[in-house]
Structures are given as C-alpha cells and as structure tokens.
Amino acid sequence: GLDQILSLHDFEAVARMTMSRRGWNYYSSGADDEITMRENYNAYQRVWFRPRVLRDVGKVDYSTKILGFDSSMPIYITATALGKLGHPEGEVCLTKAAHEHNVIQMIPTLASCSFDEMVDAAAPGQVQFLQLYVNSDRSRTRKIIKHAAERGVKALFITVDAPQLGRREKDMRTKFEGNASAHQTKGGDKVQRDSGAARAISSFIDPGLNWKDIPELREAAGKMKILLKGVQCWEDAVLAAEAGVDGIVLSNHGGRQLDFAPAAITILPEVVQQLHHRGLLHKADGTRFEIMIDGGVRRATDVLKAVALGATAVGIGRPMIYAMSGYGTEGVSRALQILKDEFEMNMRLIGAPKLEDVNPSMVDISALRTPNVGPTAYATNYELMMPAGI
C-alpha cells in the first residue's frame, strides 16, 4: 500500500508493474537511445554538497516564491500530456494534490482533462500556470491565451523544444487508439494513429515558431507572466532575456526530444554566469529573470543542487504521473509529502536553515562535466526498487 512508498522511485516501480503497456510506454520513453533521458538523472550524481555545520538548523524553511507566487517548496508539477493513460481521473488529481501541499501545477496543453476541468478543480486562489504549444493556426493559440487569462492562469510557458516530435520508439511500438481528432489541424492534416500516443497528438504544433513571434505572444499574454520552456544553451537564454520574457525553463523535455541534448543541471552554471555578466539576471523593476529547470529530478537533494546553482524552482513531471497512476490524488499528495520530508532533513544536513542559504558555495561541481563512469544508481532494476508487499 501507499504507506510502504518511501521515495519517488517506488512510485515508478509500482507504475511499471501496474500501468497499461500503452501508458508505461508513453510516459517512460525517451528519444532514440534514451541517452539524454538517463543523463538527466545521472548528472545530479556529479554534483556534491559542501555541507556546513553548527548553523542552527532547529527550524528549516524551504518555502519560496516562484514568479512572485507562494510555493511551499522550490518545485512545481510540470506539464505532462495524456494523464488518463495513467489514471481514469487524469490531471485533476495533480490539481487537487497541488492544492493540498501549496505547490503550483503547470497545466499541459495536451492534457486528458480539459483546461476548464483543471481550473474548476482548483481551490479558490490556487495558482496555476499553463504550458502552451503554439498552433500553426495562430488564432487558436490567441484564443487559448485569452481564455487562460480570463480563467486566472498566472503564467504561460511556451514550449520551444518541440518543433517536431522526438522519436520515442518504445511509444511508437504501441498503437494509439484514443480519439485524437480534436487535435487535427485546420488544414486537415491526417493524425497518424499508428505510431504512438505522442505522434497522434502533436501534428498541430508549428515548427515555424521563431524569435520574431515572441513579442506577439508577450503582448497576447497581457498581465500573465511569459516564459520559454525548453531552452538548452546560454546563447538562447540571453536571447530570451533580451526578448523581454520573464524567465526560462532549461529543459530537454524529459529526454523525449533530442537525444544528446545536455541535462539542464549541467548547463545551469554557465547560463547563470552569462546572464549575470550581461546584467540580465535582474530586471529594471527589481524582479529576477527566473531560471527553472526540469528533467531527472527524484530527490529533494537534486532540487537543492539546482537551487544552489541559481534555479528558482525545479519542475517534476514523470514522478508525479507515476504517483498518480498508482494511487490517484492520494499518491501525488504522498509524493509531495515525501519531498517535503526530504527537504527538511537535507537542509538540516547541509546546514542551510533557509533556501537563501543554499548558494553556489554549498555545492562542488568540479565533476559536473565528467561523464559518469561505470554503472550509476539509475534504477533500472525495478524488481529491486519494488517496495515489499505491493
């Protein structure tokens, strides 16, 4: 049962054993040889702490603000598509658990639940962000943005790492039989039903999207914050800051798009440094150009490493979907509680009473660029990870 789940890994083990083959193949797959997907996880093992002692850690506070909005911890539930492949209630489970734990949910464009269902499931005042794929038919995109603003969404995350779908062979081997017609483009492009869930839902996305489109999207966003999700090098981080967006997510889409894209944590230090050198980290109004990262996060220690290196917050995707798949809202809630417990303990052990204390001096990144040698702790042996009695 749920009480035997001790870590985010355990949810993955349960999901693998209990999910439909289609669901598992969709969520767990990465692009090509899944090198980037594994590297996302492995890279965190090359960042070590420099713990401090005697710092009065009787009380620790890991609450923070993300884009100015309160969050109980420096994480958010990032967008993942097709939640009902995991659980019949779909993404509203994420919405409800996010509220219980005061964390922010990023609503996915390609969710199984409708956008309105996810907003309706939110508690009064609950902050939600929206991840957005830009449609080849821009009037549709403008309509979505307008509706999001009317429904109180606080920030838009424009996905920029997916001009075309990555090749996830595990997913492609499962035939998609869902009703994908809603996602057909206006021009009548055929949805390819015979090659995986991802391909069936992605044909409307505009590969022509480019930097010149950003001002218009910025304008359409109005009072909502706007960020680019899927930046993968410092040059583009600089262009994003110069384009006047509110921040970026360094992300390779969970290793599902370009294989051999770098893990976000490995490029975070140079992104922060280059923005800092150009005076782009702080905006004229005193707010920060926020840098978030995602991919491969399974532990609060991973998040603390990212925070130490300058990330505002870290997106967690697959682990939340796995928790939801096994146990619905309760599972996601448990996953978030596990992370809170891990934050509390690890902030004590590194000697950081507050998140502001988690700065670059608290990590040693000398091994960051050295590839892992030999087997890593990446848990591919799911039988070993499986908690007893499940």
- Say if residues 259 and 34 touch (Cβ distance below 8 Å): yes
Candidate list 10, 236, 253, 357, residue with the active-site label: 253
Q: Of the candidates 111, 165, 292, 324, which one interacts with ligand HOC according to CB under 6 A? A: 165
Place of tokens 């921040």: 247
Q: Give the integer Cα–Cα distance in Å for 26 and 20.
A: 10
Instruction: Rank residues 164 and 210 by Cβ distance to ligand HOC and give the closer one.
Output: 164
Tell me how far, at minimum, the Cβ of 168 lies from ligand HOC, in Å.
7
Give me the 62-91 binding string for ligand HOC, x by CB under 6 A, dash otherwise.
-------------------x----------
- Say if residues 363 and 39 touch (Cβ distance below 8 Å): no
Q: Of the candidates 127, 205, 303, 355, which one interacts with ligand HOC according to CB under 6 A? A: 205
Q: Of the candidates 20, 63, 114, 164, which one interacts with ligand HOC according to CB under 6 A? A: 164
Indicate if 161 belongs to the active site. yes
User: Is 318 among the residues that bind ligand HOC (CB under 6 A)?
Assistant: no
Q: Give the integer Cα–Cα distance in Å for 55 and 32.
A: 46
Give me the 174-203 binding string for ligand HOC, x by CB under 6 A, dash otherwise.
------------------------x---x-
Q: What is the largest CA-CA distance in the chain?
A: 65
Indicate if 276 belongs to the active site. no
Tell me how far, at minimum, the Cβ of 31 lies from ligand HOC, in Å.
9
DSSP 35: H
- Say if residues 210 and 163 touch (Cβ distance below 8 Å): no
Instruction: Rank residues 81 and 228 by Cβ distance to ligand HOC and give the closer one.
Output: 81
Q: Of the candidates 38, 99, 253, 334, which one interacts with ligand HOC according to CB under 6 A? A: 253
Tell me how far, at minimum, the Cβ of 77 lies from ligand HOC, in Å.
14
Candidate list 26, 76, 133, 327, residue with the active-site label: 133
Indicate if 133 belongs to the active site. yes
Q: Parallel, antiparallel, or unpaired: how do β-strands 225-231 and 155-159 relate?
A: parallel
Q: Could you please report the per-residue DSSP string of 145-209?
A: HHHHHHTT--EEEEE-S-SS----HHHHTSPP-S--GGG--TT-PPP-TTS-HHHHH-TTB-TT-
Candidate list 26, 27, 76, 161, residue with the active-site label: 161
The closest alpha carbon to 320, from 338, 347, 307, belongs to 338
User: Is 256 among the residues that bind ligand HOC (CB under 6 A)?
Assistant: yes
Which residues carry out catalysis?
133, 161, 253
